[in-house]
Chains A and B, each alone.
Chain A
Amino acid sequence: MKAINLLKIAWKALQRNRLRAFLTMLGIIIGVASVIAMLAIGEGSKQSIRNQISSMGSNMLFVQPGSDNRGGVRQDFSQSQTLTLADYKALKEKNTTLTDISPQVNGSGQVIFANNNWPTSIHGVNPEYLNIRKLSVKDGSMFTDHDVLAAAKVVVIGQTVVDNIFKNGEDPIGKTIRFNKIPFKVIGVLTEKGQNTFGQDQDDIMLAPYTTVQKRIQAATYLQSISASAKSESIAAQASEEMSSILRASHKLKAGDENDFHVRSQEELISTFSATSEILTVLLVAIASISLVIGGIGIMNIMYVSVTERTREIGLRMAVGGRGRDILLQFLVEAILISVTGGIIGVALGIGSTLLVASIMNWPTVITMQSLVISFTVCAITGIFFGWYPARKAASLDPIVALRYE
């Protein structure tokens, strides 16, 4: 039989039972739509994590002290003192892959202005830190290398700090604030960055020369970390290796020794957090796929009923010349038509609901072509798979019996 006739016959058969065909389709529609929506939401959150991490500086690298094995007692890395200014200087002099590099020492405490106070943290850095972290100063200016050399008591503060201690709307520039009883002169205010992906307020910081923080606040010479940025994102991995080898040389580690520091790149962070959201996506899609399978079983169920109900019709078709194969194909095409039509509606509904979720709930969503193709293919295969058995049953009927079936 010609393919076009086959399609016509199957289409007419579905037309005879429109409501039933639609209800059968509904399972597939919901399945496909939810798979697409889930994939879009999963992909969206993955990309938003990636964007947020990159907004902190996509080619950023940073070095943290590693475990200190001295004396056989391992220590928590935040307590360890293996990272020093000497390391920073070695990196700064010997590197070939970095644009900016800054040491970092952190302190936390209470900041006070007039009768307002606020708990915050202070980062002792050099002026290059702004470039590395993609920060900028909106009012006033950043401190200079000269301030670093002089260990000047100057500070650049984030908007959250401004909001909490300059409650009367004073201009913070030029004011003297006290952090842990040490007076600092405010010389600049950072442009707001808002919260990051992990809910941290990126504006709740103060930046001061690292020399000042080391001498006045910590009274120590070691560093909490070293931040740097590679010349480009593509050589971040290479830069990370170069930094490791410089640090190994500077720490005089032997070939077999474990690193007593960690070099981390943003790429690593991205993949760590993407993995989490990936697992979540897989889970959501798995749940959505179950509804697709249930939709498929719905098709099988209805096709079985349809075969039984239309036994006489099958007998007649065979009597007027329909071969077993023609009957098989007719029922198979009916099942595929149901699932493919359902698939098309499902894709439309999936895209629609995704856009709706995106606009109402403000969730990041990304519909990929891939997800459309996959869910559509899966539902076509579902039609063939679940349509096959009822169609086989129809084709194997004996025309003599089928014609006289009551």
Chain B
Amino acid sequence: MEKKIIRIENLKREFIMGNETVRALKGISFSVAEGEFVTIMGTSGSGKSTLLNILGCLDQPTAGSYEIDSVPVSNLSKNELAHLRNEKIGFIFQSYNLLPRTTALENVELPLMYNAKVSSRERRERALEALRLVGLSKRLHHTPNQLSGGQQQRVAIARALVNNPVLILADEATGNLDTRTSYEIMALFQELNAKGKTIAFVTHEPDIALFSKRTIVLRDGHITKDYPVENIADAAQALAQLPKEEELEVNS
């Protein structure tokens, strides 16, 4: 049997707001195997963000179980969760969340700073390798304000890769980017997935989901659809088919 990265069973998450209990997740179950590329879709209020927080070990479920890489998360302390995030998860955010006035290289090194097992030399080497993977070898010493949005997101992706996580968790990673750059980033995700990385991509844009292998749709705290994507779109091809930037300018 293939290795499961995510195993979720009857997961519930409730928030108490004053006298009311808000049930954000009402008992969902699914699992993600190693090497999968899953899109989690849903409108706002569907429980998507809550699920993302739990998947990212930032939050814990009220009931049900969640195992990441066969580690049950439910009863871990705050420090153990932090340790788990450091070793198993790579986060990518909509707004990049890079440290300002800090070079790309230092930004990518950041997760390894919190890992005492990694020497400063190894940290540097791994950060260089991650930046090479995202195609930013020539931008090592640029600070975020010297980089374009797409480049900043690549730095963020490199940062997510540097600790060699079992799961890459992307939260609306293309939300701030134009179509062309989005496709570039999706092409990068597909490339990483082809190299065996497990990716969970949270978005509300249906066309982005077409680039993944599987789509899970959330609605009102339930999974309404969970299906493999047929005819997976190739982001590199889609990119090639986009009108050239010069033409775009003429047309608009």
Taking Cβ atoms with an 8 Å cutoff, the residues of A that contact B are 1-2, 4-5, 8-9, 12, 15-16, 312-313, 315-326, 399-400, 403
Contacts and interface: CB of A to CB of B under 8 A. Distances in A.
Contacts of B78: 323-324
B126 interface: no
A320 B110 contact: yes
19 contacts: A1-B116, A4-B120, A16-B99, A16-B100, A16-B102, A315-B97, A316-B91, A319-B56, A319-B58, A320-B86, A321-B85, A321-B111, A323-B78, A323-B79, A323-B82, A324-B79, A326-B114, A399-B58, A400-B59
Contacts of A8: 113
Contacts of A5: 113-114, 120
Contacts of B184: none
A320 B159 contact: yes
Contact of B113 (A9, A313, A319, A323): A9
Nearest to A315: B97
B97 A403 contact: yes
A318 B59 CA distance: 12
B114 A320 contact: yes
Given A1-B114, A5-B113, A400-B53, A319 B85 contact: yes
A400 B85 CA distance: 13
B211 interface: no
Which 6 pairs between the two chains have the least Cβ-Cβ distance?
A321-B86, A320-B111, A321-B114, A16-B101, A323-B82, A316-B97
Given A12-B102, A323-B82, A324-B79, A317 B91 contact: no
A324 B87 CA distance: 17
B115 interface: yes
A313 B102 CA distance: 12
Nearest to A15: B101
B97 to A, nearest CB: 5
A320 B79 contact: no
Interface in B141-186: 159, 163
B36 interface: no
B132 interface: no
Q: Chain A CB within 10 Å — which of B58, B78, B79, B159 has the most?
A: B58
Nearest to A312: B97
Contacts of B111: 320-321
Given A320-B159, A323-B79, 4 more contacts: A9-B113, A322-B114, A324-B79, A325-B79
Nearest to A398: B58
Interface of B: 53, 56, 58-59, 78-79, 82-83, 85-87, 91, 93, 97, 99-102, 106, 110-111, 113-116, 120, 159, 163
Contact of B85 (A15, A320, A325): A320
A391 to B, nearest CB: 16
A231 B58 CA distance: 82
B70 to A, nearest CB: 19
A324 B85 CA distance: 13
Contact of B82 (A2, A9, A318): A318
A317 B101 CA distance: 16
Contact of B99 (A313, A322, A399): A313
Nearest to B53: A400
A56 B159 CA distance: 77
Most chain A CB inside 10 Å of its own CB: which residue of B78, B99, B106: B99
Contacts of B159: 320
A4 B97 CA distance: 24
| Chain B CB within 10 A, most for which of A312, A313, A319, A324 | A319
B116 A2 contact: yes
B116 A321 contact: no
A312 B111 CA distance: 15
Nearest to A2: B116
Contacts of B100: 16
A2 B122 CA distance: 15
A160 B238 CA distance: 107
Contacts of B86: 320-321
A317 to B, nearest CB: 7
B115 A12 contact: no
A20 to B, nearest CB: 12
A261 to B, nearest CB: 78
A321 B101 CA distance: 21
A138 to B, nearest CB: 73
Contacts of B93: 316, 403
Contacts of B116: 1-2
Contacts of A322: 82, 114
A399 B53 CA distance: 10
Contacts of B113: 1, 5, 8-9
A5 B106 CA distance: 12
